[in-house]
Amino acid sequence: MATGLMHRFTRAAATLLLCGFGFGQSVEWRPVGNRVLDAGLAGLASGPVERVWYSPDGATLYLRTAAGRVFATVDFESWAEGSGAPPEPGTAVAETKPERGAQLRATNRASSPILYAFGTAVYRSSDEGRSWENLSRFRGRSILGEALTDLAVSPRDPEEIAVATLAGVWRSLDGGLSWAGLNDSLPNLPARKIWSVPGPGSVARIALTEGEAIWQPGRRIGWIPTEPTLSNAELALRRTLGDVLNTEIVSVATGAEWVYAGSRGGRLYASSDQGRTWRPFTLPDSGDVLALFVAPSEPRVALAALSGPGARVARTVNGGIFWEDITGNLPAGRVSGVTADLGSGTVYAATASGLAQTVADLTRAGPVGPWQLIPGLPKASAVDVKLDEGGHQLYVALEGYGVYGAIAPHRFRDPRVVNAADFANRPAAPGTLLSVVGTRVASARAGQIEIPVLAAGDAESQIQVPFGVSGTSLSLALMGAGGDGAITRRDIRMALQATAPAIFVDRDGAPMALDADRGILLDAMTPARAGTRLQVLVTGLGAVSPEWPTGLAAPLENAPRVVAPVKAYVDRVPVEVLRATLAPGYIGFYVVEIQVPDIVNVGPAEFHLEVGGQESGRVTLYLTQ
């Protein structure tokens, strides 16, 4: 493999690592996606805006969102919290209206014949309303989003107008002939629930006020609106349970044979036999049951989030026979989402004041620790909270600001060892790169074998499994310094296999893949071309030949080859593997090079590896002819 080509590869991979599962990162909140929707309109969209108006001198534009928040901009790019109420729309008279019910807006120049109107579209008249020109509907579709709610004309220029719609706010400087969205920095994304979080083979999916949206790995333009598949499925289940229980069900959660349902008035229902029989329970004066959480490993444990003012977080440890109020000192206001890590007893609640956490015994009734707001997030109401499958990453949806993620704070009390490529709980293999989440590792051993510590940070450390280990299990002794300087030791046992392949992904779940011919990273915006060579960065491929020392970067030329047979699949169809070696210049990384077929299905494709009979997780590659 040419040195120059691998130089481009390693530099590109290092860039991805800085924004992915990088070495020694501190625990900080990071945005998952952005605050806008890529809805195919005249610009990037956001959420509903109900009013828009200019300051008297036209230098400042104000808006009020459907949630009642006021924002202002002076540079028409960035928004800041504003104040005040919109003025009453001025009266305007026209000889005709472009459509029934259209609202009129006049300029502030008494002699101007220009009028604007809005209804299902934006209109302009240059002759006091005798004739009208459509400015926003093209081929039967509004380019500003449906349901226009307001229009304002700048006092300083009758050609400058701003329009509010259910998709955000838009501005034109030429009387509506062209439009630009002003939504990029507006915190108005209408996220309401986190359906899924990013990871290998999965995308972040959220419920919006209307519909759903996904954050597509590698695309990075905006959330993509999609059909409300999961929302509709939950709605159908709620309706079915409502018919059975003869009440309106507003939240539901399932786990194994268990089903939990919540209604208005603090009413909770639990079934241990898939809904054939039910246990009812009522928490007085607790409002609506807004969300439910069931512990995956122990479905008798469940949590409820309520609107208050009574109990706003409740737990059951006996399958719904009794629900206990664990609201404690939680700040006032509704709780709209709740999740927990059973092992550490940590409960997270999405509240009107932000994201809060406490520690409680989730296996039996008992005292609950004080609630604390988790710092570092934008000041906004939290609308949902979710942990990834392993309980290592915590995600929160904030009203208007979208989704944020971080290493789960409970991991500082309960560190775990995960695969460094994708943070998954999977067996180790000789040579695998591992991440120790939640602690700084000073030294490590596997029995009598010293394990290299490649990087160490307060939130995360990286170690490499020695190439010389064997057997079916791996006992790790991790040494670190506590907050008081005392040496701490943690003993962790992991399953061990000859191979345990894992594909490196970034925080969005996009794989680290490179076009070997062009030397560029591939993603949804730069898909892999048919007939080209593709290089993928992985770990866990096991022994190499010739043998290579643990903890030493692979050579730039003649990198050791993987011993186990390597197979690659695109949409479950085998593709040719050209080579599989240690990644030149890296420790614990391997590179697999494949030949992309000459004919491919354009668009997203599932990709995975099989090494020594063990499969990696699925990731998404994007292909083009």
Q: What is the pLDDT of residues 580-622, one digit of tens each?
A: 999 999 999 999 999 999 988 898 899 999 999 999 999 999 9
Averaged pLDDT score across all residues of the chain: 91
Is the distance from CB of 512 to CB of 621 less than 8 angstroms? no
Residue 17 has pLDDT above 80, yes or no: no
Domain boundaries 191-408, CATH class:
mainly beta
User: What is the predicted pLDDT for the residue at 407?
Assistant: 93
Question: Which pLDDT does position 457 carry in this prediction?
Answer: 86
Q: What percent of the chain has pLDDT over 90?
A: 81
Q: Which helix (H) or strand (E) is 53 found in, with range?
A: strand 49-54
Q: Round to whole Å and give the CA distance between 144 and 126.
A: 22
Q: pLDDT-derived band of residue 25, with 50, 70 and 90 as boundaries?
A: very low
Q: What is the CATH number of domain 416-495?
A: 2.60.40
pTM: 0.90
Q: What is the pLDDT of residues 44-100, one digit of tens each?
A: 999 999 999 999 999 999 999 999 999 999 999 999 999 999 998 888 889 899 999
| Amino acid 514: pLDDT | 94
Token look-up 């997270």 returns: 348
Q: Distances in Å between the alpha carbon of 469 and those of 257, 403, 498?
A: 41, 41, 9
In words, the CATH class of domain 3-21+502-624 is mainly beta
User: pLDDT tens, 147-195?
Assistant: 999 999 999 999 999 999 999 999 999 999 999 999 999 999 999 999 9
Q: Averaged over 269-291, what is the pLDDT?
A: 96
Q: How confident is the model at residue 508 (pLDDT cuts 50, 70, 90)?
A: confident
With b for 16 or more beta-carbon neighbours within 10 A and e for fewer, the 6-17 pattern comes to: bebbbebbeebb
Check the CA dihedral 91-95-100-105 and report its sign: negative
What pLDDT does 112 receive?
A: 87
CB of 419 within 8 A of CB of 502?
A: yes
Strand blocks (E) in 439-572: 443-446, 449-451, 453-456, 460-464, 473-481, 487-495, 502-503, 513-515, 520-521, 528-529, 533-539, 544-545, 561-562, 566-570
CATH 2.60.40.10 domain residues, the chain: 3-21+502-624
Residue 15: what pLDDT? 36
One-letter amino acid identity for 71?
F
**Residue 18, pLDDT above cutoff 50:** no
- pLDDT tens digits, 179-192: 999 999 999 999 99
Q: Which of 5-19, 91-105, 128-142, 234-248 has the weakest average pLDDT?
A: 5-19
Cβ distance 72 to 82 under 8 Å? yes
Say how far apart CA 296 and CA 289 lie, in whole Å: 20
Nearest-angstrom CA–CA distance, 588 and 550 = 8
How confident is the model over 411-446, as pLDDT tens digits?
988 889 999 999 999 999 999 999 999 889 999 999
Residue range(s) occupied by CATH 2.120.10.30 in the chain: 191-408
According to DSSP, residue 234 is labeled: H
